[in-house]
Amino acid sequence: MPRAAETTEIAEISQIFLSATAQDCRQYREAVRDFVQDNEIAAKIFLQENWAEGGDFVVDVCERRVKTCDAYLGLFGYRYGWTPPGFTKSITELEFRWAVDRWRQPVPPIFVLLPEKDSEADKQLREWARPYLEQEFPDEVSLAKGVSAQQAFLASVVEWASDGRILVYYRTPLQLVGKALSCIQHWNQRLLRQALAGRREALGDIPAEDLGRVGREDQRAALSGALEAFRDRQGQRAIAFLVHGPENHGQREFAEFLYRWDDEWEDIAVHCGQASEPDSIDSLICWTCGQLQEPVLGAASVDALAAVLAARLARGSVVFVLRTSGRQAQRLLTFQNGFWEPLLAALAGRLPAGSGRLYWFVIDHQELPADPGPHIRSARLAGDDGDAVDYRQLLALPALGDIGAAQVRRWLKELKATAGVSLSEDRRREIAERVTQPDGKPANVYDRLTREGFWASAT
């Protein structure tokens, strides 16, 4: 099932995730933990050794801890650390990226602690790291690569923090523990305590993903056929579909249907959302990397995304549902030429070790032109022996259109099996006629269906 959205607002810091390479930074990590907990009674600092859980993959455990703590402390020295199988970043960098992705407010509860250059603390961390680096990197080439990875990570951290985030430098161990404590205490004193207010779904509201199925038999049939044909093409690793139609014709609901289409995706990871700047390829790359738990901290590039995706596909398939393609006139051409085709080319040079495949859905909120251009395929999406599909193109599903009474009746009949809502034939006909009059515009049909109140029997 798709992962629930993470809460990004907090009331007060009490549980703190402390991230650092464990062996070389052990003394500083434990000193920070002890000093903060002794002087801030409500605070609890978690170190990795505190939550080792037999049988659980350490990446999953660490990610879960980052996303359940109230704050993050990054204490970085001279080792890049262990890179988990199937990932391109070390576990320490992954933890920082998860924190950045979780807390997106201008000043997040993320505190970075770095030693001043050539200070007592800096020399001590460098000395502690030396034996571990010699053990990890037996030759000069591999050592240079490991040092370079850590330098690039630290540079990206400093660049991220330069925009008003909390970056603290220290010279001695005593300054380190004092400044770590100050970060927590100052935050708690000035943070406004606000209760989170979320929309509560009214009893009888029909889930958006179920509304997304109403009258979409053509789209679902075309999609299923194209997916079967794609999976028969063993050499193809990625496919992209275009969902389109006049504005406000059920795009949001159909996106929710795709997001929660358990019958099709089964155990495949599904990500649904949109880039912060919908018309920007760089923003799209950042959003995608963030969904894959490796948020971009420096410059965004298709090659960097391909590296992240290749590692992810080695572990299994993944689905992305992009809620909007943007508003610019050339948005679809930009997506295909600036993102999709370059991404496929970059992935081809990084063939994943496993059998995972990439499924992408682009939701557009305008009608497709009669001649959409060579970058979009709108007929015979499954192809045949004489008309092979070019998977560099966007495969356009049938347009989302108005919804008729017959389509509503079929959907109401299906609800007995899918949602436990059982309606008589006469009742289905009555509802279908009423909700499609005086028009079949999806948004109005959805509203009328909800006001019928019949869904309450499924709750």
Find out whether 360 and 339 touch, Cβ atoms under 8 Å. Answer: no
Q: Based on the domain organization, do 131 and 38 belong to the same domain?
A: yes
* Strand blocks (E) in 294-445: 318-322, 358-363, 376-377, 394-396
Place of tokens 């991230």: 19
The pair of three-digit structure tokens given for residue 441, joined into one six-digit string: 């515009």
- Measured in Å, how far apart are the chain's first and last C-alpha atoms? 19
Q: Based on the domain organization, do 271 and 358 belong to the same domain?
A: yes
Q: Based on the domain organization, do 330 and 235 belong to the same domain?
A: yes
Q: Based on the domain organization, do 410 and 392 belong to the same domain?
A: no
Q: Which amino acid is residue 98, in one-letter code? A: W
Residue 22 is predicted with a pLDDT of: 84
Tell me the C-alpha distance between 137 and 83, whole Å: 14
Per the document, the length of the chain is: 459
CB neighbour list of residue 362: distance below 8 Å, 6 or more residues apart: 240, 241, 242, 243, 322, 325, 332, 335, 394
Q: Which amino acid is residue 438, in one-letter code? A: P
| Owning domain of residue 55 | 15-190
The pair of three-digit structure tokens given for residue 38, joined into one six-digit string: 């002794």
Residue 275 is predicted with a pLDDT of: 85
Is 200 a member of any domain? no
Is 366 a member of any domain? yes
Tell me the C-alpha distance between 54 and 246, whole Å: 52
Other CB atoms within 10 Å distance of the CB of residue 254: 27
Provide the 8-state DSSP code for 252. H
Q: Based on the domain organization, do 55 and 150 belong to the same domain?
A: yes
Q: Based on the domain organization, do 153 and 172 belong to the same domain?
A: yes
Q: Based on the domain organization, do 392 and 419 belong to the same domain?
A: no
pLDDT by 10s per residue, the chain, length 459: 344 434 444 457 888 999 999 889 999 999 999 898 888 877 888 776 554 444 457 888 888 889 888 899 999 999 999 998 889 899 999 999 999 998 888 788 999 999 998 999 999 999 999 999 989 888 989 899 999 999 999 999 988 887 778 889 999 999 999 999 988 888 877 544 433 333 334 446 788 899 999 999 999 999 999 999 998 888 888 999 999 999 989 999 999 999 999 888 888 989 998 888 888 999 899 889 888 888 777 788 999 999 999 988 988 999 999 999 988 889 999 999 999 999 999 998 886 667 889 999 999 999 998 888 899 998 888 876 557 889 999 999 999 999 999 999 999 999 888 888 889 999 999 999 999 999 999 999 998 998 888 887 664
The pair of three-digit structure tokens given for residue 11, joined into one six-digit string: 């009331």
Tell me the C-alpha distance between 227 and 380, whole Å: 12
Find out whether 435 and 449 touch, Cβ atoms under 8 Å. Answer: yes
Q: Based on the domain organization, do 219 and 352 belong to the same domain?
A: yes
Is 65 a member of any domain? yes
The H or E element spanning position 272 is: strand 269-273
What is the domain-level CATH number for residue 287?
3.40.50
Rounded to two decimals, what is the model's pTM? Answer: 0.67
The angle formed by the CA atoms of residues 364, 369 and 374, to the nearest 5 degrees, is: 90
Residue 74 is predicted with a pLDDT of: 95
Is 357 a member of any domain? yes
* Closest by Cα among 205, 319, 323, 201 to 256: 323
Find out whether 393 and 377 touch, Cβ atoms under 8 Å. Answer: yes
Is 325 a member of any domain? yes
The H or E element spanning position 330 is: none
Tell me the C-alpha distance between 454 and 423, whole Å: 9
Helices (H) and strands (E) in the chain, counts: 17, 11
Q: Based on the domain organization, do 270 and 412 belong to the same domain?
A: no
Q: Based on the domain organization, do 170 and 29 belong to the same domain?
A: yes
Q: Based on the domain organization, do 228 and 322 belong to the same domain?
A: yes
Tell me the C-alpha distance between 257 and 264, whole Å: 11
Q: Based on the domain organization, do 213 and 148 belong to the same domain?
A: no
Find out whether 418 and 210 touch, Cβ atoms under 8 Å. Answer: yes
Domain limit, last residue, from 156, 190, 224: 190
Is 201 a member of any domain? no
Provide the 8-state DSSP code for 437. S
What is the domain-level CATH number for residue 175?
3.40.50.10140
Is 97 a member of any domain? yes
Tell me the C-alpha distance between 457 and 459, whole Å: 6
Tell me the C-alpha distance between 22 and 47, whole Å: 9
Domain count, the chain: 3
Domain limit, last residue, from 190, 217, 247: 190
Domain limit, last residue, from 355, 376, 396: 396
Is 343 a member of any domain? yes
